[in-house]
Structure 1
Amino acid sequence: MLKRKFGDRSDWQRVLIREYAQSFIASENFDGYVTLIKIVKVSDPLYVEYNGEKICIGDDGYLWLQQFPSNRNHSVTTMFDSNGNIVQWYIDICLQNGISDNNVPWMDDLFLDLIVLPSGAIINKDVDELETALTDGIIDKNQ
C-alpha cells in the first residue's frame, strides 16, 4: 500500500505546536502547491543519521517548506534550522501529487527518496523498500 503524506503533517505527534500556511503558485517556473510548517514546539527533537553523521531535522523553531508540483512525480521538502540555515533537501519520489477534500496537498509516496545535504552529498534512501514493494506487487514496473 502506498503511503499518502499530507502537507500539513497533521499526524506528526512529535510536533506539539505548529504554524501552517499553504499557497497555490502558477508561474512560468512552478505550478503547484507550496506548504510551510513552522515547528514551534516539539516533544523531542528529530535526528537522522547519514553515513555516521547525526543531523537534527526537526526541533523548536525549524521550518519545513514543501513543494507539491502539479503533474510531476516528486515532492521536495526543504528543512531549515531555527537560524534559517538549510539542513537538507528531501526529495520524495511519488506516484502523484493531489489536493484533499479539505484543500490540503498530498502525495502518494513511491518509497524511494533522495536526500541532498548542504555539502552536496546525495543519499539514496529506501531503495530496499522500493524493491520489496515491487517484489510484493504493491507497485508495478511502470510505477
Structure 2
Amino acid sequence: MKRKRSDRLDWKRVPVRKYYQEEVRDGNHPGIVHYFYMKEIKTPLMDAFFSQPTPVADQGFLYIQYFPFGEQHTVTTMFSDSGEIVQQYIDIVHSHGQDPDGVPWYLDLYLDIVMLPTGEYRLVDEDELQEAWQQKMVTSEQVKMAYDEAKRLIKNLSSRQKDWITWAKTCYKTWEKVESRLLSHQIEV
C-alpha cells in the first residue's frame, strides 16, 4: 500500500501552498477536513478519465479532502480558481489517521472513483491495484476490501454525491473565512 499525506509535500508541482484542517463532529459528516490551496504551481495537471480532459491542479485551485471517521475512503473535492467544482476523487483506503504533527494520512488501496459534477463517474486504477497484488504489496483480502468498498459507494453514488457537493460548498465557505489568516508554505523543488 502507498502511505499518503494530505499536505502533499511530495508534490513538487506546487512550490507554494496553504493548508488548513479541522475536525468536524457534526452528525452528518464526522471526520477530518483538510484544505490544500495551490498558491503557485509549476505544472498544471489534467485528468483524462472522461471524453474531455479535466483540469484538476492549477494556480488558485483548492482541494478539500474529507476523511470520514470509521470509513475506508476519503473524498477530495477539487475547486477551480473561480470556486467551481471540477471533480470529486474518492480514494479507497485501508485506513486513515493523523500523524503526530496533525496532518491526515491514508493507506491507499489504489482503487479510486472519479466523479464529475454532472454525476458521471469512473472506477479507475484497477490496473494499479492488480499490479500491487501481483507484487505482494497488498493481500487478496485487501483487494476484496477495495472492491467491496467501491461497490458499496457506487451503489448509492448519486445521493451521496449531492450530499458531498453540498457539504463541500459549505466547507469552501469556511476556507474563504480562514484563508487570509494562513501563512504560505514554500517547499523546495
TM (norm. structure 1) is 0.93
- Deviation (angstroms), 1:118: 1.5
Q: Which moved further from structure 2: 130-139 or 39-48?
A: 130-139
* Unaligned ranges ≥5, structure 2: 143-189
Native 8 Å contact 1:4 1:108 kept in 2: yes
State how 1:1-143 maps to structure 2 within 5 Å. Answer: 2-143=1-142
Secondary structure of the residue aligned to 1:9 is coil
Residue 139 of structure 1 aligns to which amino acid in structure 2?
A: V
Secondary structure of the residue aligned to 2:75 is strand
TM (norm. structure 2) is 0.72
**Rounded Cα–Cα distance in structure 2 between residues aligned with 1:90 and 1:136:** 25
Residue 140 of structure 2 aligns to which amino acid in structure 1?
A: K
Secondary structure of the residue aligned to 2:140 is coil
**Rounded Cα–Cα distance in structure 2 between residues aligned with 1:9 and 1:68:** 15
Q: Percent identity?
A: 38
Q: Which has the higher strand share?
A: 1
Deviation string, structure 1 residues 93-130 (Cα, Å, up to 9, x no partner): 00001110111111100010000011211111111111
Secondary structure of the residue aligned to 2:129 is helix
Residue 50 of structure 2 aligns to which amino acid in structure 1?
A: N
Q: Which moved further from structure 2: 130-139 or 14-23?
A: 130-139
Q: Which moved further from structure 2: 126-135 or 81-90?
A: 126-135
- Deviation (angstroms), 1:7: 1.3
Runs of at least 4 residues off by over 3 Å: none
**Rounded Cα–Cα distance in structure 2 between residues aligned with 1:79 and 1:93:** 17
